[in-house]
Amino acid sequence: MTKVIISGGGTGGHIFPAIAIANAIRNIEPAAEILFIGAEGRMEMDRVPAAGYQIEGLNISGLQRRMTIKNLIVPYRILTSLMKAERIIRKFKPDVAIGVGGYASGPTLRVAMLKKIPTLIQEQNSYPGITNKLLGRNADKICVAYEGMERFFPKGKLILTGNPVRQNIVVRPDLLTEALTHFGLEPDKKTILVTGGSLGAGTINRSIRSYLVNNGNANIQIIWQTGSYYYPEILSDEKLTHLEHVKILPFIDRMDLAYTAADVIISRAGAIAISELCLIGKPIILIPSPNVTEDHQTKNARALVKKNAALMLKDSEAVERLPVMLNELLKDEYRQEDLSENILSMAIGNAAERIAAEAFALIKFKQKN
């Protein structure tokens, strides 16, 4: 029986790929035993069990950007996490260890490397985080979603696999009528999908409000995922709630229908979101979040802009410039087609299956040698 440790988390951008990889491993070998190692108090400690997998927690955290007393206990937490990871690995005896980024993957994969256990890391972004940068020096394989990653990792270890995305994310033209009915939309109007993630994005919400209040374009319709945090505030805005062509939602549970209905999409530039958008192949305007490590969302967006596969606005300019950029894009059918073709050319399907296959290949190589 194959035994696999998958470690990392902290955000949905790390957790979803980890679970997708685990599911792909189980599809290949249903009897495989999979153990997750996450960070105590982080969202993986709830999300992973909900997906049907066992998880152990490490008392690990990263350095704060500003000077704070919390940074003084980080070395202690790293040491104790290394010790606990060693105990877990010694007891579980994995055949391979997979890191997806996040605090917990550092101690876990470091111990695995010291014990000569095959290791694989999966980097979702075009600019890797500190943990994966450090681990990449000694990892056996590094699965990435962007070209040009030899700037950060040894070239011979790199494998372009793409990022795992939700299995139900696909545009279904045959579901267009169902999609329009689901959201209460009209078939003869352009549809804009706006999403800032499950929690929402304040700048994107303010930008869409500015667009609606100042343009009043009734020839378009909007599916607007505000995020749960911002939903009550937006719903109480009298300038917005009377607009019948705007569907204001805290969260979209049928993203497959939302993507199918959309003609243009406005989004943040998280790695998993971009991987989904490449598969969807619709014209997109990306507004990267400035509140992320190493400004990696901007780097993700630029990777698409460089290939004329997306438009991008700085967060600080979005409220002022989005209405103009959006109107120009909606009027330019040729630009829409060009963006769609180019972003589709960047799509990589079956990423989770590819990564799982690489993990099994590592195990077989170790067994032969």
| pLDDT recorded at residue 101 | 87
Reduced to 3 states (helix: H, G, I; strand: E, B; else coil), residue 144 is strand
Spatial contact of 21 and 355, defined as CB atoms under 8 Å apart: yes
Of the candidates 176, 323, 353, which has an alpha carbon nearest to the alpha carbon of residue 256? 176
Q: What are the Cα distances from residue 359, in Å, to 3, 94, 164, 250, 285?
A: 11, 12, 15, 38, 35
**pLDDT digits 0-9 by tens, 104-132:** 999 999 999 999 999 999 999 888 888 89
| pLDDT recorded at residue 291 | 80
How buried is 133 (Cβ within 10 angstroms: 0-12 exposed, 13-18 middle, 19+ buried)?
Answer: middle
Q: What are the Cα distances from residue 122, in Å, to 152, 197, 210, 303, 351?
A: 13, 22, 39, 18, 10
| pLDDT recorded at residue 84 | 95
**pLDDT digits 0-9 by tens, 226-248:** 988 899 999 888 888 788 889 99
Q: Which stretches of 29-73 are DSSP H helices?
A: 44-50
C-beta neighbour count of 197 within 10 angstroms: 19
CA distance 242 to 185: 15
Overall pTM surpassing 0.85 (yes/no):
no
| pLDDT recorded at residue 167 | 67
Range from 25-39, 193-207, 305-319 carrying the lowest mean pLDDT: 193-207
**pLDDT digits 0-9 by tens, 267-305:** 999 988 899 999 999 999 999 998 877 788 999 999 999
CA distance 320 to 226: 19
Mean pLDDT over each residue of the chain, to the nearest integer: 89
Q: What share of the chain is helix, strand, coil (3-state, %, to 5)?
A: 50, 15, 35
CA distance 171 to 333: 19
